[in-house]
Structure 1
């Protein structure tokens, strides 16, 4: 069985504001996978090498073409930065930050590789993940040719357990997708060149079928909500594994998914463990997202839920 290549990001990074081309985003994906495979607690300052052979195999391009794309992406990544928000652990207040993606990046012709060092702010957002993160298989975005499609897929898949995002204001959406202020100012152009193009590619190449609803203030569009479904063939092949109707297949201490869901919805359980999620994350805003995340975390490591016996929340 082929090992799954998983892209895993802290939700603060998924929701960050930045503009990267397709090649730059692909380098980031491969570097994230390499970093996590080498060591989940990768040290700041550690170099990572991404080889053209790997890039070509993953994104279905010739090795020479892959290396040329990687070399062009070096300059873009060196200059690129991103803006993100996170809750301060000491005060609980929301902070707003700017960071670069890399401290150093270059290429080695004779080896056919790009070498990079992630910036110190990036490392915990891709490796030291315990609470709020999004993961998906790299193959889901491998065939996407639009940088907007890649970013939109990431933003949508945060809400996988719900099937629908919260309302995203137009200005926020433009920034998160990396649309420059001078680009596609007319709504018709924004839809045609960004949203509709991205949705078309997502529906064709990924594991979800997506669409959007518009929100208006009078006749002016002010935001969008994205709704989506997992494709039936993905469910059938096992890509989507957790289903409440099959709860008895996934147990912890003899408890089914339905029972774990009841535990997660218990007001006492929520009061005991609401500190585990940010109020700005999907799980902090939607009960279904909360339930989904808590079930997964209970299965992953029930020992972190130690304030009282888990079965007590069923009473």
Structure 2
């Protein structure tokens, strides 16, 4: 996957759509194939996706790859998305609705999917002289949550700052492809969509992300995300002996949850509580925060207080 670069116009990155994991993967492979032509594509271009490529790039069985390509003939053809653009004559913002593909066919004997992008999609993967987002396919290849793939793309479009603006909750849900009646309660949205997506991103991609929530009255009105690349070294100071510990890793899941439970009961941690949450809810949120190297650094004095012992090796932090 050395040259498997995904490049999308930011209009497409910020579009609203609901694609299953296999469908998102096929769109990404089609974008790669379009780039590999070296001559650009048109709305008549046929792009070939091989089952063997799908199996190799996403580490699935040949049978799973065959199934993904076969099912795409109907499912992907029916998928639609919407995006905001400027009207050519008036320059006013308009909402455009489009299919992803105008033609799709599966060649059974060859295990090949032929894809032709819809006219509105072509410029969004070829018109890249202004605002675009790029990343390596390998960063999302292991993600199995469709929301994790979408969230990663939305985040990486802000890689120059490492922080998104505050995203309105309705707009965020739309970008993730959620229907109005899906996961309406915030606790369900967090437990089934947001937090599993963040967990996968933190474990399987090149970034570590955390989020803040903003309220309008008593209701959550939006989220802001910040993230760092894992190769950035984090310094954690040991105040007792002035040693500096460096880490590019993180606590194991078992360590995170064990220490999060202990931290939730510390009076000093009260400033991080949302006030209305139980100790158990607070512990779950602390466990999430401990996935972020910056939070690990910030919580280090409290971790020591509840029994965390840092390694004396300069490049490792453990418990």
* TM-score normalised to structure 2 length: 0.71
> Taking structure 1 as reference, are residues 40 and 203 closer, same or farther at Cα in structure 2, changes over 3 Å only?
farther
Q: Distance in 1 between matches of 2:216 and 2:229?
A: 31
Q: 2:146 is matched with which residue?
A: 147
Q: 1:65 is matched with which residue?
A: 64
Q: Distance in 2 between matches of 1:10 and 1:224?
A: 23
**SS state of the match for residue 17, structure 2?**
coil
Correspondence 1:105 to 2:104? yes
Q: Distance in 2 between matches of 1:136 and 1:234?
A: 21
Q: Distance in 2 between matches of 1:106 and 1:181?
A: 32
Q: 1:129 is matched with which residue?
A: 128
Q: Distance in 2 between matches of 1:27 and 1:56?
A: 11
Q: 2:47 is matched with which residue?
A: 48
Alignment of 1:184-223 (within 5 A): 184-223=183-222
Correspondence 1:156 to 2:137? no
The structural deviation recorded for 1:72 is 1.6
Q: Which has the larger radius of gyration?
A: 2
Say if 1:41 and 1:128, in contact at 8 Å, map to a contact too.
Answer: no
Q: Deviations over 1:198-219 (max 9, x none)?
A: 0000000111000110010111
**SS state of the match for residue 148, structure 2?**
helix
Q: Deviations over 1:19-65 (max 9, x none)?
A: 00000000000000001111352122111110000000000011122
Q: 1:35 is matched with which residue?
A: 34
Q: Distance in 1 between matches of 2:80 and 2:154?
A: 18
**Unpaired runs of 5+ in structure 2?**
235-319
| Residue correspondences, number | 234
Q: Distance in 2 between matches of 1:66 and 1:106?
A: 15
Say if 1:212 and 1:225, in contact at 8 Å, map to a contact too.
Answer: yes
Q: 1:77 is matched with which residue?
A: 76
**SS state of the match for residue 187, structure 2?**
helix
Q: 2:9 is matched with which residue?
A: 10
Q: 2:115 is matched with which residue?
A: 116
**SS state of the match for residue 78, structure 1?**
helix
User: RMSD of the TM alignment (CA)?
Assistant: 1.6
* TM-score normalised to structure 1 length: 0.72
Higher helix share: 1
Worse-superposed segment, 147-156 or 43-52 = 43-52
Q: Distance in 2 between matches of 1:87 and 1:161?
A: 25
> Taking structure 1 as reference, are residues 233 and 226 closer, same or farther at Cα in structure 2, changes over 3 Å only?
closer
Give structure 1 regions of 4+ aligned residues with deviation exceeding 4 angstroms: none
**SS state of the match for residue 16, structure 2?**
coil
> Taking structure 1 as reference, are residues 31 and 167 closer, same or farther at Cα in structure 2, changes over 3 Å only?
same
The structural deviation recorded for 1:90 is 4.6
Q: Distance in 1 between matches of 2:233 and 2:75?
A: 34
Correspondence 1:224 to 2:226? no
Q: Distance in 1 between matches of 2:40 and 2:94?
A: 24
**Unpaired runs of 5+ in structure 1?**
236-315
Q: Distance in 1 between matches of 2:27 and 2:233?
A: 25
The structural deviation recorded for 1:110 is 0.4
Q: Distance in 2 between matches of 1:161 and 1:40?
A: 29
The structural deviation recorded for 1:144 is 0.3
Q: 1:173 is matched with which residue?
A: 172
Say if 1:207 and 1:234, in contact at 8 Å, map to a contact too.
Answer: no
Worse-superposed segment, 88-97 or 54-63 = 88-97
Q: Distance in 1 between matches of 2:171 and 2:202?
A: 23
